[in-house]
Amino acid sequence: MPSALPDGEPMPEDGALPPHALAGAGDRPLGFYLHVPYCATRCGYCDFNTYTATELRGSGGVLASRENYADTLADEVRLARKVLGDDPRPVRTVFVGGGTPTLLPAAHLVRMLAAVRDEFGLAPDAEVTTEANPESVDAAYLAELREGGFNRISFGMQSAKRHVLQVLDRTHTPGRPEACVAEARGAGFDHVNLDLIYGTPGESDDDWRDSLDAALGAGPDHVSAYALIVEEGTQLARRIRRGEVPMTDDDVHADRYLIADEVLAGAGFHWYEVSNWATSEAGRCLHNELYWRGADWWGAGPGAHSHVGGVRWWNVKHPGAYAAALAAGRSPGAGRELLSAEDRRVERILLELRLAEGAPLELLAEQGLAASRRALADGLLEAGPYREGRAVLTLRGRLLADAVVRDLVD
Ligand SMILES: C[S@@+](CC[C@H](N)C(=O)[O-])C[C@H]1O[C@@H](n2cnc3c(N)ncnc32)[C@H](O)[C@@H]1O
Ligand code: SF4
């Protein structure tokens, strides 16, 4: 089952926020994340909050059904309108993620987007993305999304190699994600991302190069490349424990990251976050940038997390419990945290240090500053930006990003 929610204080029944959360809201961009918690089958490595039809059978009944989901989610968008009151901000980004959003008919995704547009209005240049699984879309589906207002799409490619896709339990065939990019371009999508995973047991350096080449050959303007994380409680973790597949290896991950950066940079892509590369500034994922820069976002859907003005909250995880709360006129929020100034400082370091622009040194406390001087001497931080007061990771620093970040938050 997917991972647990954090602890926290209870959420008020009406979802109301403390007044300080809304102070100055007009100066911060607002984004919406819309979660779709359904998948046809579960990939062995994935612990996202998503459910197959079998997992839902007998729990949640009609309330948890896919057919009603778009309307249920629209109820939460209307709740968001009430909670945010006369906040005049038009929405800057909408990101539909999952799960597999494209298991729903395109018209349902368009309806979910329309709920945001009707309640809040969209900024004229709003970025509107959906994730899509390659096997679950075709040209007509993509055209319907484009006509309905989506302008960015993110396909879960993961690998171009059949044996790697098999270990990952992916159901699409090699070549299908690349065909999806062509179909998305044909439908008029301005921005197309491919998600890749490296370090899968059984993948070689050459396999990884082939996957990168295949992805680039398709012509996306954005690539996300993630090291395979073996999440506790997943089928993959059990298979590794039983010795059926080898454990992933940190050295292999580092080598694959270097290959990714070399191949992507050679094709004109620039890293702008440790795991994300784009061909231009316009190709970056603005929605993720809102997360990384501590802006406001409302996450709607089971298990979705939100953040507004230093208040972070999360919804109940099960689609049945989620729908039941909204049907009863209650907030689906399960708990919340009011972030202190210190929490926000630490969070800024954690997130901004992973960006190509880096984190301002003034965020660091005494020990963190001393650690940053050591990181600079060790070649983990760039010297030029450091002189100008910013901690920016070098390529070697990006390989060790988690460790550098841990040292700098002290
Ligand atoms: C949660 S998925 C949703 C998108 C879509 N369902 C898909 O699988 O293509 C978003 C991305 O997270 C990445 N991901 C999920 N679990 C991961 C893991 N355990 N390790 C590394 N990347 C992971 C995959 O690249 C995936 O495309
Ligand atoms: S399709 Fe995506 S969300 Fe669904 S189980 Fe696989 S990785 Fe997770």
Of 292, 322, 354, the position where a domain reaches its end is 292
Residue 10 covered by a domain? no
Domain end position, chosen among 260, 275, 292: 292
How many angstroms does the Cα of residue 363 sit away from the middle of ligand 2? 36
8 Å CB contact between 310 and 338: yes
pLDDT surpassing 90 at residue 1: no
Q: Indicate which ligand has the atom closest to the C-alpha of 288.
A: 1
Same domain, 62 and 210: yes
**Domain check: are 404 and 279 in the same one?**
no
Indicate if the pLDDT at residue 252 is higher than 90: yes
The verdict on 31 and 161 lying in the same domain is yes
Mean pLDDT of 203-231: 97
The residue written with tokens 């799960």 in the block is 99
Order of all β-strands in the sheet with 276-278: 270-273, 276-278, 222-227, 191-198, 152-158, 122-132, 91-98, 30-36, 296-300, 305-308, 311-315, 333-338
Question: Which residue has a Cα nearest atom 17 of ligand 1?
Answer: 46
What's the pLDDT band for 5 if we cut at 50, 70, 90?
low
Calculate how far, in angstroms, residue 37's C-alpha sits from the geometric centre of ligand 2. 10
For residue 179, how far is its CA from the centre of ligand 2 (angstroms)? 20
Domains contained in the chain, number: 2
- Residues within 6 Å of ligand 1 by CB: 45-46, 48, 97-98, 100, 131, 133, 156, 158, 195, 197, 226, 228-229, 231
Could you give the CA distance from residue 52 to residue 47 in angstroms, rounded to a whole number?
13
Mean pLDDT of the 93-121 span? 97
- Phi/psi region, residue 99 (left: phi>0; alpha: psi -120 to 50; beta: rest), is left
Q: Is residue 314 included in any domain, yes or no?
A: no
Residues whose beta carbon lies within 6 Å of some atom of ligand 2: 39, 42-43, 46, 48, 50, 98-100, 133, 156
The answer as to whether 306 is a domain residue is no
Determine the structural domain holding residue 214 and report its residue range: 19-292
pTM of structure: 0.96
Task: Flag whether 323 is in a domain.
Answer: no
Q: Is the pLDDT of residue 58 over 50?
A: yes
Based on the fold, state whether residues 286 and 349 are members of the same structural domain: no
Q: Are residues 283 and 147 in the same domain?
A: yes
